Structures are given as C-alpha cells and as structure tokens.
Amino acid sequence: MEENKYEKILEDALDEAERLYRENGTDFLERLDIQTREDIGEIADKALSGYRKAVANVVITSLTKKIGDPDQDIRYHQQKLEGGYSGRSLDEKIINPFLIENDFQHMAESGWLTRSLEQSQPYIKGEYTGEITPGSLKESFLRLLHRVEEEQLSPQEVLIGIFLRYIEWREDKKITLTKPSNISIKRCANLVRAHLFDDYTTGSAPLPVLVIYSIYEVLMSQVDKYSDKKLLPLKSHTTSDRRAGALGDIEIVYEEDPESRFEAIEIKHERPIKSDTVRDAYEKFRGEAKLERYYILSTGGIEKSETEEIKEMINGISIESGKEVIVNGVIPSLRYYLRLIDDPDKFIEKYTENLEEYDEINYEHRKRWNEIPKEI
C-alpha cells in the first residue's frame, strides 16, 4: 500500500537517527555542509521550542514524499497546483500520527492548517508570499526545499538530521521532576507563581491551564457538587476552542449526559480580562442549556479600567441566561481552591505529573520546576 511506503521511510530514517544518537549524533550533523546544518537547526529549534511546529511538519512531509517519489517536485504541495500532490493529506494520515507516536513535537492535525503555509502557490524560493515568521525560518524552509530539488541535497540526510534533533529534545524531556511535600497553601501558591512568571524563551501559555486542570483533578474527588460530574481530558493548547467544539480550555460535563457541560474554564496568560473577553465567551456558551458556571481566569488579572463594565456585563448575562460568569486571576483562584481540598500536596503531585506528561510543556519549564523549590 502507498501509506506503508511512507511509514517505512519514516521508520528507517528514525532507526538510523536513533543509531547515530547512541553512537554520537553530533558527528553526523558535523559532516553535513554548514548551510544544511544551519537550516536544519533553524527549523528544528523553532519547532522544538513550540514556536513554529507547522514548518517542521511541512518539511518532514516534503522530505518523506521526495524519498518515496523522487520525480515529484515537493514544492508543489497541493493537487490544485499543476504537477502537485496533497501535502496536507500525507501529513494528516502519516506524518503527524508518526510524530505523535514517537513523542516528537507535532501539530494538532496538520502543518497545512496554518495560514502562512496553506497558500495555493508553490514553495519557490524568492517567490512564495506566505508570511512565515521569523524571516530566518522562511529562508531556511524555502532554501532546503530548493536545494533538494535543484542541487541534489539528500532528502534522507536532512530527514535523519531533523530526527536527530527531535531525539535529543525527547531525551532531554526525560527529567525526573521534584514533588515538594508538606507545604502550606501560601508556599504552594508562591511556587506556582514563580513557575508561571519565569523568563521563558517561549511556550509558557499552557502552564496556567495545567495549574487549574491539576487542582480540578483533586477537586473532582473531594467536592460534593462534582460527585456526578466528569473532567474532560485536556486538548492541545494550539487547537482553537471553536475548531475543537469546546467552550473553554477546561470542561466539566455531566456523567449521565456527557454532551452537556456543567462548568467551563477559559484561561489567559499574561493578558488581562477585558469586556471583549467576556463578550466573546458569552457568544460561545450562551446556547448551552445545562451550563451553570463559566470561569474566565487570567495570570494578567482583570483590566482595571474596565472593571465596572465587566461587572455590568456579567450581571446582564446572569439576568438573560441564568448562568454565572466568574472572572478572576489564576493565582487567587488557586489559593481559593486549595482551601477546599484536604492537602496541598495532592495538587503538587498532580501538577508535577501533568508537567511530565503534557506534550506541549518544554524542557526549560520542567527544569525550572526543579529549581524553584530551592530558591523559595
């Protein structure tokens, strides 16, 4: 089958990358010409930081296609382009599932769902107008495809080089995280605050979601009102609520009616809650007949200049729909929830487990969690 051919290409490249990694992968990368090495580094680094994963997906898809079908010009990535093929279909069916299976950075569905990469024009160096940022990433992306097509650059070597970088990243993630114990509510909140607001390179937006999700995991078993409710699994943070059919980042449903939400929580990071935030939220949940409560929490708190307007909007929503909207900061909410459970250590245990398991948490976030208890 056609699909088996591409799966074997990926598996062979990964097997070789893993062998090289065990022996000393840097030797392989050093043997590549400096331009190829720099372009692989640019694409892998941006993807592994969680910053521009879509470009890496498209490159891996393109390289796999070229290895499997040498006569295909991989720059023509849509069937509507003359002589083109469906890059998105190959990514969705084969490439992205392979990346997920091997615990590599990946998209929720496909790199081609990103506006800057889905333009109906070939990926021609100097001509493609998609707004891929930063400029250095766009240059590396288009240059690699150009050199594979025009200068006989080996797609196998580039694919192995990218997988080497992904393996290094995956192994770095395997860090044993500390679980502080016997801590007070105040110290617990201080640890979390320090972790949320550290000076990270990128990718810290999922952290406050994990904080609130972790405390809910404990609340669900200890607070009576949740006894007949269910906490839904976390979705990818890069997937929009609208596309996922979700009301918020975290959702609680009725066990007997799992299609209906009981509560939903929308979480913002470093952006204050404004009247527009409340208005947009209401548009999402106003049709939910059984929803009782909707939380909007932010590490940026509430926009002071709009406090009164927000209060009026919330009151109007309550009168119109009977639903309660609560806006608050993430840390104040955490402190309140910690008072409802019997032991803050249980929250710390859940949060640490989620830091270890959630794909979109980067190595620097895990490493920092181990350092903070020694400093506070």
CB atoms within 10 A of CB 151: 8
Residue with tokens 């930063």: 134
Q: How far apart are CA 9 and CA 6, in angstroms?
A: 5
Residue by residue, pLDDT tens for the chain (376 residues) are 566 899 999 999 999 999 999 887 678 888 899 999 999 999 998 888 777 889 999 999 999 999 999 999 999 999 999 999 999 999 999 999 998 888 888 888 888 888 899 899 999 999 999 999 999 999 999 999 999 999 999 999 999 999 999 998 888 777 889 899 999 999 999 999 999 999 887 678 999 999 999 999 999 999 999 999 999 999 875 555 555 578 999 999 999 999 999 999 999 999 999 999 999 999 999 999 999 999 999 999 999 999 999 999 999 999 999 999 999 999 999 999 999 999 999 999 999 999 988 877 877 888 899 999 988 7
Residue 276's pLDDT is what? 97
Residue 107's pLDDT is what? 87
Residue 172, token pair as written in the block = 């770095």
Residue 108's pLDDT is what? 82
Q: pTM score, two decimals?
A: 0.66
Closest CA to 254 of 265, 264, 267, 241: 264
Residue 1's pLDDT is what? 55
Q: How far apart are CA 101 and CA 8, in angstroms?
A: 14
